[in-house]
Structure 1
Amino acid sequence: MEIQQEMLVDWGIKIGLALAILIVGKLIAKMVVNLVKKGLTKKGVDAAVVSFAGSIIYVIALLAVLIASMSQLGIDTTSLVAVIGAAGLAIGLALQGSLSNFASGVLIVVLRPFKAGDFVEVGSKMGTVMEIKLFATKLKTPDNKIVIVPNSSITGNAITNFSTQDTRRVDLLIGISYDADIRKAKSVIEEVVAGDERILKDPAWTIAVSELADSSVNIIVRPWVNTADYWPVYWHLIENIKIKLDENDITIPYPQMDVYLHKTEN
């Protein structure tokens, strides 16, 4: 009789401790999830990512609490852990691509290499960021097309953000004939550059001979502009430099090759 009472007391204590672990563990899991959510929200992380991350952390925490509670009852949890691990591995392999995109989406939102409204080049695509989702990022191209780029292809490649800086440099390469007057050509180009009020005075622009190429003398033209003025200035300079060079009889040569024939006597 005493042995049965001791066993009942012992089991009662184990059950009580197991329930305590379960209840306290659940409360701690909720507290951790709330702290993580608050931290992510303060960093400006997308609400969908915050919710999803909180759910994952809560499920993992509950599994750990459940295993600890079962261990307190004397139940061998080794096989259970193995089953959970095998199931997790199978799910991970089946959803490898989706999980990679999700993880990349979380990195994009947390690290913030770009934000909605930025003009970027990502994953070999270029456009304005419309929306950053869990698995993909939506871009609008300059010709008004919507492109959905998987997040994994974004984080796995170089990201160029054209909107982070207030100014950009316009890089042009103008080739003139070897017969042309280099000083006159540079003077004509500088006149065109100086006549555009959108071009900044600081930093100063650069106009210099960069290369003696096969068919032309190449002159680099590098003015600085506000980011919003980049393309209008680029197109304006290309057109007007060509017009002014033509007006001053400075030719832009076609690629050419000189062939010399030698006559030999048999």
Structure 2
Amino acid sequence: MASSFDKYQKRRLRSSYFSVVISIALVLFMVGVLGLVLLKSTSVANLFKEKVAMTLFLKDKVSNKQIETLKASLQKEPFTRRIIYTSKAQAAKAHSKELGEDFLTFLGTNPLKNGLELYLNAEFVTPEKMAEIEKRFQKNAFVEEVSYDKPLISLLTKNIQKISFWLLIISAFFGLVSMILINSAIRLSVYSKRFNIKTMQMVGATKSFIRKPFIWQAIKLGLIGALVAIIGLGLTIYYANQYIPSLHLLSDYLLLAYLFGGVVLASFIITWLSTYLATQRFLNLQTDELYY
């Protein structure tokens, strides 16, 4: 009879642990997917920003040697990502191709300027910083005119800020929900052992001594749940990369390290905190309160 009861208890315990692991895995998977969207949205936004060019139209008197000197100095600037030089002859050829006829034949001269297309690093593509860079180039002796799409920069910056704000709000909400769900699962697991906790306390065990095995057990379950969530995320990322290869999900090792590391860290912090609070609650209860 006792053996049958022990088997029943062990079965219940395994079932409890299994439900905790699944709960943690599902919640961490959801948080991981949201984290992937949040992290990759920054990369996508940066990709759009780095496609915006600032064009420097050079004065006619500027020699090829001076242009090379200017290019070399620009390459050393922190805001420079890449530079493309377009001569006035190349620009005329491109315009003629777009128009479908050679406009130089009836103009007689080439009115276009030699130009440098300056592509900036993403953090410098904001209305304020680009205005500062524009003022700096307007004072340059080689530059006649600075041109870039100001309305596009303003619109791009505003839209990215809006999207980032709402993603942060959603992330915070789901983060709170995940903590509540994991906390509930762990509290139910600790609740089933509340009488054991009180018995150990009555025979003189300290709170830290009683709490320690519960915390370690929860951390182990949390890490198993995190491993399951990481496997799920890995499969999701693999298939997403097949359908949207332009995002380079599998080749972005830094993003994957942050994502998987964040899942493990979240499981550790949430399980530790939830177990600590749950055990503390039952440690502070009176014996007659354990039945409610």
TM range (shorter): under 0.3
User: Which has the bigger relative contact order, CA under 8 A and spacing at least 6?
Assistant: 2
Look at both structures and tell me which one has the larger radius of gyration over its CA atoms.
Answer: 1
Q: Which has the higher helix share?
A: 2
